[in-house]
């Protein structure tokens, strides 16, 4: 009897802790407001590193999810999809996911971690030429958007093959290791790094360590999910309800192009490259002469990003996702000026297209527009006419669903 009392007392604290935790979990879940389409209008960090908002958007039949990078921030341009399709003018809401340094591996992990949310659906993927440097994504840039929650979720998904999990783990372990070598443990979860290292190259010691820490990983999956819901709830509370207008039967694309050109002229008056005035003043301006032939040695023909792109496409294949892949050109006039030759640009274009063809990916190939005025808004990001081509494709993409 005395032994039973001791055991009962020993169990009181863990039970109270468990009940408290479950109560907090229930309260967080109950407090999350209904999803708002306006969450799609900007590239909030919570959408990049979390999963709750992605799942809520994917559940809506009239949402188109666009994975991209820093080009999504061009919200000052009226043809950016978030502006162009405001009010669901074509019957759908776009959802922008990504920011600067979100590259193929980041998007692959988000999609791989999405469970059944995106399975059998369609997403838009935008590649950025500047991602294809020799070493691919830098460790600190990868870490800026890395999500331990997403990594733990994708590793728990039985629908993904062991091979793709190993490929993702290999790259994650490599980049997390590089980051730790540069910055120590600040901002990194060592346990997640060890898990990635084990899944990339299992050994006797890592297998034992993984067995010991398995309960920790299970708990952290749950905790990260709650944290994601709480942060998502706070974001949704801060957003207005999306305003809807009557969908247009037909968009006058010629008129839209004329308006885009006029807007571009007003925003690019201080240079001969068709670049946004502010961008030109900040990054080029009086330094124009020093930019001449500075990229004479630049080459995108070999890059780890190509391997990451294959990982992204393979994840989509295993999830049964049909992506629309947007292949963005470089700025032809600027590239010629800085010495990045047309021949080397073409080699990059062809490398990407061949990989997309390997996976039978639908591609919106915009690389033939590299000399088109106002196609880009600076030296690398889609601009007035570039986004308009994407907008046209989005209408067709949505209507083919």
Q: What is the pLDDT along the chain (401 residues), one digit of tens a residue?
A: 555 555 555 455 444 444 444 555 555 766 678 999 999 999 999 999 999 999 999 999 999 999 999 999 999 999 999 999 999 999 999 999 999 989 999 999 999 999 999 999 999 999 999 999 999 999 999 999 999 999 999 999 999 999 999 999 999 999 999 999 888 767 677 889 999 999 999 888 888 888 888 899 999 999 999 999 999 999 999 998 877 777 777 899 999 999 999 999 999 999 999 999 999 999 999 999 999 999 999 999 999 999 999 999 999 999 999 999 999 999 999 999 999 999 999 999 999 999 999 999 999 999 999 999 999 999 999 999 999 999 999 999 999 87
pLDDT at residue 7, rounded to an integer = 54
Q: Which residues contact 37 (CB under 8 A, 6 or more apart)?
A: 60, 63, 88, 93, 242
- Asked whether residue 2 is domain-assigned, the answer is no
**Residues comprising the chain, all counted:** 401
C-alpha 102/C-alpha 134 separation (Å) is 17
Task: For residue 395, give the nearest of 118, 85, 77, 119 by alpha carbon.
Answer: 85
Domains held by the chain: number: 1
Question: Which residues are CB-neighbours of 235 under 8 A, at least 6 positions away?
Answer: 39, 44, 46, 53
Does residue 152 lie within any of the structural domains? yes
Question: Is there a domain that residue 384 lies in?
Answer: yes
> β-strand 362-365 against 63-67: which pairing, if any?
unpaired
Q: What pTM value is reported for the model?
A: 0.91
Residue 322 lies in a domain: yes
CB atoms within 10 A of CB 299: 16
* C-alpha–C-alpha distance, residues 46 and 40, integer Å: 11
Cα-based distances in Å from 367 to 107, 128, 224, 327, 350:
22, 12, 40, 7, 10
15 lies in a domain? Answer: no
Whether residue 25 is contained in a domain is answered as no
Beta partners for residue 97, in sequence order:
67
Q: How far apart are CA 331 and CA 378, in angstroms?
A: 8
Q: Is residue 11 part of a domain?
A: no
Nearest CA to 334 among 277, 389, 387, 271?
Answer: 271
Q: Which residues pair with 67 in a beta bridge?
A: 97, 125
pLDDT of residue 335: 98
Query: Rounded distance, CA 196 to CA 315, Å?
Result: 17
Domain residues for 317? Answer: 31-400
Tokens of 88: 């669901």
Residue 9, in any domain of the structure: no
Place of tokens 């898990």: 195
């Amino acid at each position: 009897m005395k032994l039973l009392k001791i055991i009962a007392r020993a169990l009181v604290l863990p039970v109270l802790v468990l009940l408290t935790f479950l109560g907090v979990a229930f309260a967080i879940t109950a407090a999350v407001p209904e999803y708002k389409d306006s969450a799609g209008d900007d590239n909030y960090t919570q959408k990049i590193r979390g999963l709750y908002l992605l799942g809520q958007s994917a559940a809506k039949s009239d949402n188109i999810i666009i994975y991209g990078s820093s080009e999504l921030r061009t919200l000052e341009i009226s043809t950016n999809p978030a502006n162009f399709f405001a009010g669901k003018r074509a019957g759908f809401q776009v959802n922008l996911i990504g920011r600067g340094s979100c590259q193929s591996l980041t998007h692959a992990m988000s999609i791989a971690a999405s469970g059944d949310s995106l399975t059998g659906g369609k997403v838009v993927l935008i590649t950025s030429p500047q991602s294809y440097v020799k070493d691919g994504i830098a460790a600190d840039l990868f870490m800026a958007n890395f999500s331990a929650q997403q990594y733990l979720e994708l590793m728990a998904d039985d629908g993904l093959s062991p091979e793709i999990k190993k490929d993702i783990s290999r790259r994650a372990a490599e980049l997390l290791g590089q980051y730790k070598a540069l910055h120590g443990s600040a901002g990194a979860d060592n346990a997640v790094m060890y898990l990635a290292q084990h899944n990339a190259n299992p050994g006797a010691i890592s297998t034992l360590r993984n067995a010991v820490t398995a309960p920790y990983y299970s708990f952290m999956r749950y905790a990260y999910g709650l944290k994601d819901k709480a942060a998502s709830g706070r974001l949704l509370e801060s957003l207005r309800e999306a305003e809807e207008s009557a969908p247009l039967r037909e968009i006058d694309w010629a008129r839209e192009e004329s308006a885009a050109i006029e807007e571009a002229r007003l925003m690019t008056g201080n240079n001969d490259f068709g670049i946004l005035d502010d961008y030109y003043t900040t990054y080029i301006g009086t330094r124009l002469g020093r930019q001449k032939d500075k990229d004479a040695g630049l080459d995108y023909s070999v890059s780890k990003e190509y391997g990451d792109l294959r990982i992204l496409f393979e994840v989509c294949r295993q999830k049964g996702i049909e992506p629309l892949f947007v292949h963005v050109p470089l700025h032809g006039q600027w590239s010629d000026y800085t010495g990045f030759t047309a021949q080397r640009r073409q080699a990059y274009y062809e490398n990407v297209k061949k990989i997309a063809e390997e996976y039978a990916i639908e591609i919106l190939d915009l690389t033939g527009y590299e000399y088109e005025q106002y196609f880009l808004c600076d030296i690398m990001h889609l601009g007035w006419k570039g986004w308009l081509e994407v907008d046209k494709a989005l209408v067709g993409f949505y209507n083919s669903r």
